[in-house]
Amino acid sequence: MTQPADHPAIAAPRVGLLLVNLGTPDAPDAPSVRRYLAEFLSDPRVVEIPKLAWWPILHGVILRTRPRKSAHAYAQVWTEDGSPLAAITRAQAAALQAAFGEEVLVAHAMRYGAPAIGPAIDALMAAGARRILVAPLYPQYCAATTATVVDAVGAHLATLRWQPTLRFLPPYHDDPAYIGALQASVEAGLAALDFAPDTLVASFHGMPERTLHLGDPYHCQCQKTARLLGDALGRPVEVAFQSRFGRAKWLEPATDATLARLGREGKKVAIFAPGFAADCLETLEELAIRGKEQFGAAGGRHFAYLPCLNADAPGIAMLERLVRRELAGWL
């Protein structure tokens, strides 16, 4: 049907893919980190403490002291392309765009910081995306990560007159494609070392223990990932949880305590972070730098950090396979 001459231009209908990761400050300085932490730590999914109790702690203590310390940590891993997490997520989006070609419009966003989810959805829709698959890049489901992406998407949709049709990529902690990509990545990393580790440690981001008792499946899914990966590698994988914060009891064993124990035992260790889709502060600074120092201080001599899947071939092939499956009937 011919449109009227004065009809506004409308892009042809397309399918969109929005990759979403956690987020990062804009720069490795205290003001940027303060803005990022203020947004991140204000999310009730992240800190499940009543606002009346939490707000004085957040604004009176944490945002006055933590930004400077965190900025120093970010500065140690910052690159010419900016934050490692931001740079790698951009590369993942570009690689998937190349893989899908004209079939799919690919964009990326951060749950906290920039680029934000709302403007990314708006840009996809302006380019013609009427159907959008939102892909939270968290293999293991957690309310503080996966669910808060869904919250943010829903909050933005509530502001739109014309809403797109949406799907969400499910958690993929036990998907054969994910386990296979991890296996290929770990085996390649081990083959490049100048020593043979006798202990493999899978370090996942920690969560307060109460989240497990409240029904969050995260702990169980982390354990299953490690078990399936160990089966694929033909050797056991130890599980540990990093990035503890505050005084609450967190999931155990703790990564720092695990590394100290293995150092005292004289083990040769390779550690990796299968719950992170891209290397970031928590892997490059907390594990590769501070984790190595903790291991060495306890007497350990052989330590290696193995990188995340990032935008390397196994990881991109895995993401393409998962996305194509979830786009069935749309392409």
pLDDT at 9: 64
Write the single-letter amino acid at 99.
A
- The pLDDT, as a whole number, for residue 95 is 98
Non-local (6+) Cβ contacts of 148 within 8 A are 43, 45, 46, 111
d(CA 155, CA 134): 14
| pLDDT at site 245 | 84
> How far, in Å, CA of 180 to CA of 207, rounded?
26
- Rounded distance between C-alpha atoms, residue 191 and residue 227, angstroms: 21
202: β partners = 239, 272
Where does the chain hold its CATH 3.40.50.1400 domain(s)? Answer: 14-172+315-326, 176-305
Instruction: Please tell me the distance from the alpha carbon of residue 12 to that of residue 91, in angstroms, as a whole number.
Output: 26
Closest CA to 278 of 102, 42, 35, 79: 79
Residue 306, burial from CB neighbour count under 10 angstroms (0-12, 13-18, 19+) = buried
For the entire predicted model, the pTM comes to 0.95
Q: What's the pLDDT at 247?
A: 81
Residue 325 token pair: 């499956």
Residues in a beta bridge with 116: 110
The CATH code belonging to domain 14-172+315-326 is: 3.40.50.1400
Query: SS3 of 275, please?
Result: coil
Q: What is the dihedral of CA 306, 310, 313, 315, to 10 degrees?
A: 90
Given this model, what pLDDT does residue 246 score?
A: 79
- Please report, for residues 71, 109, 143, 325, the alpha-carbon distance to residue 26 in angstroms, rounded to integers and kept in the order given: 11, 13, 25, 34
The parts of the chain modelled with pLDDT lower than 70 are: 1-11
pLDDT the model gives residue 7:
57
For the domain made up of 176-305, the CATH class stated in words is alpha beta
- Helix residue ranges per DSSP H, the chain: 30-40, 51-57, 63-77, 84-100, 117-126, 148-157, 176-191, 209-213, 218-233, 255-264, 292-297, 313-326
Residue 5 pLDDT: 65
pLDDT, position 6:
65
pLDDT of amino acid 183? 98
